[in-house]
Structure 1
């Protein structure tokens, strides 16, 4: 059917399509109606009408796209007026959109051109950097898509990758007027398992330790928990492996790299009570003074608190001497090793060893966090 005849037919059908809802549309499931009321502010009658209008608008857009050919540049339903906006690149097509009951928007770029640029990006090896340096610069390309309303290819990126995003846009042949860079605060995540400081993990299937703090593409923990290359699991799921480990000697520290597609590394600590919303935020690593209050989280004794009693402590373990520890009056037990030491929202260190117990009273030493970050050239994941 040629475009003129098609538009004439649609001009007659459209008022009916945007009128009273059909019997089928009135059969929306009660839970859908409740969700539309909650999330879109619509009552039952408005929700049913909205669904009917949206379906009919999609049919109109599909027909116009097929008929307009290369002139078609996308379409969308207006946020407030609910008009069917149809972007085209020439006046002739715009007149035909008007005749069909749509709202024409004349633009410069065809949809096919922008989609070809997007496809070129799909075939480009994009380096997805994370929080990997001590300056805490967050970088990464979060997403990219054709925004039909702005008639541009939009690339969303973290603050540290804005220049990279521009380079990518130009690499696929787009001029400044054909793309837009938008800054976002975080990368997208899947429905992966959330991982927190203080949580338990298993080394080699037979040793349990606790997570210290999430950093870069992994977490830090105690060096005595495992050696470089040792595999780890979390809730019986393969998680990653030790990328580095020091013990004994100049510290008790380790960096475990994690499969970040399966696990979300949260900038928070497990307080062992309440929902995910109650997890304790980590916002920095300002070192506390001797005499300051301090708490720790671990998978055996959970949360215990005390005071900092000494710094730069040398500890003689059976495996050898370890220097640079901080001593506290907080207690700990087996399995707490590697767990988080913190004051308020400031990370302090990684649980190393203890004497005594949490029944009669004990003493714990921890590996200060800042030397660990420097040793592995990683940065803390920080909560907003």
Structure 2
């Protein structure tokens, strides 16, 4: 899963899908095909699903944090519905890596430049979100570090306003969609 708007600019495959690749932080070569994302239905949330087609790419229940020597890998223990203004949330994005901010508000409505409107979002202090759309947002599980709980996904932000906008986990997870955790068999 990633932000649905990440497929807006293509390049489009002949079937209208967009191919997505894994590219490590700071990587300029070595990208590996994950698979295509069909045109997403963003009527409920800014999310799209990448169909994993490359058998050489695996999934693991962790988030990269290699800028931190003490906890270079963060282990996903589950999901958490954030519900407290002022609580700290972090994200791990391709462009700005792991950065953190504080929750400012819940139930926020945002209209993006393309005219799409999304509601029920979380607004947080700026976590350097430019180029990090689709990044997982999480909170640390203090008693089980380097454990974390996924709380949402970056959908956008505003440099001028100093905010980051997050799709809450409750809008992303359904009965047939879940977050892989350390407790799941791989």
Task: Give the TM-score band, short-chain normalised.
Answer: 0.7 to 0.9
Q: Aligned partners of 2:107 and 2:163: how far apart in 1?
A: 15
Secondary structure at the aligned position of 2:67 is classed as coil
RMSD, aligned α-carbons: 2.3
Partner of 2:126: 330
Q: Aligned partners of 2:112 and 2:50: how far apart in 1?
A: 23
Secondary structure at the aligned position of 1:246 is classed as coil
Deviation per CA, 1:279-328: give whole Å up to 9, x if none. 10111111122221111111111111111111111101111211121110
Which of 110, 132, 153 is the equivalent residue of 1:350? 153
Q: Aligned partners of 1:244 and 1:284: how far apart in 2?
A: 28
Bigger RCO of structures 1 and 2 (CA < 8 A, at least 6 apart): 2
By how many angstroms is 1:250 displaced?
Answer: 2.6
> CA, structure 1 residues 260+238, in 2 after alignment: closer, same or farther (shift >3 Å)?
closer
Which of 13, 17, 35 is the equivalent residue of 1:229? 17
Secondary structure at the aligned position of 1:224 is classed as helix
By how many angstroms is 1:237 displaced?
Answer: 2.0
Which consecutive unaligned segments of at least 5 residues does structure 1 have?
A: 1-219
Which of 36, 59, 82 is the equivalent residue of 1:288? 82
Q: Aligned partners of 2:91 and 2:17: how far apart in 1?
A: 27
Partner of 2:174: 374
Partner of 1:339: 135
- Please list, as runs of the form range in 1=range in 2, the aligned pairs for 1:190-339 lying within 5 A after superposition: 220-226=1-7, 229-235=17-23, 236-243=31-38, 245-247=40-42, 249-259=43-53, 261-273=55-67, 278-289=72-83, 290-320=85-115, 321-339=117-135
TM-score, structure 2 length as denominator?
0.76
TM-score, structure 1 length as denominator?
0.38
- Please list, as runs of the form range in 1=range in 2, the aligned pairs for 1:145-160 lying within 5 A after superposition: none
Contact 1:250 1:324 in 2 (8 A): no
Partner of 1:152: none
> CA, structure 1 residues 243+378, in 2 after alignment: closer, same or farther (shift >3 Å)?
farther
Contact 2:66 2:72 in 1 (8 A): no
> CA, structure 1 residues 281+270, in 2 after alignment: closer, same or farther (shift >3 Å)?
same
Secondary structure at the aligned position of 1:258 is classed as coil
> CA, structure 1 residues 245+330, in 2 after alignment: closer, same or farther (shift >3 Å)?
same
Deviation per CA, 1:42-95: give whole Å up to 9, x if none. xxxxxxxxxxxxxxxxxxxxxxxxxxxxxxxxxxxxxxxxxxxxxxxxxxxxxx
Q: Which has the higher helix share?
A: 1
> CA, structure 1 residues 333+294, in 2 after alignment: closer, same or farther (shift >3 Å)?
closer
By how many angstroms is 1:346 displaced?
Answer: 0.9
Contact 2:19 2:35 in 1 (8 A): yes
Moved over 6 A (4+): none
Contact 1:246 1:254 in 2 (8 A): yes
Q: Aligned partners of 1:371 and 1:337: how far apart in 2?
A: 16
Partner of 2:27: none
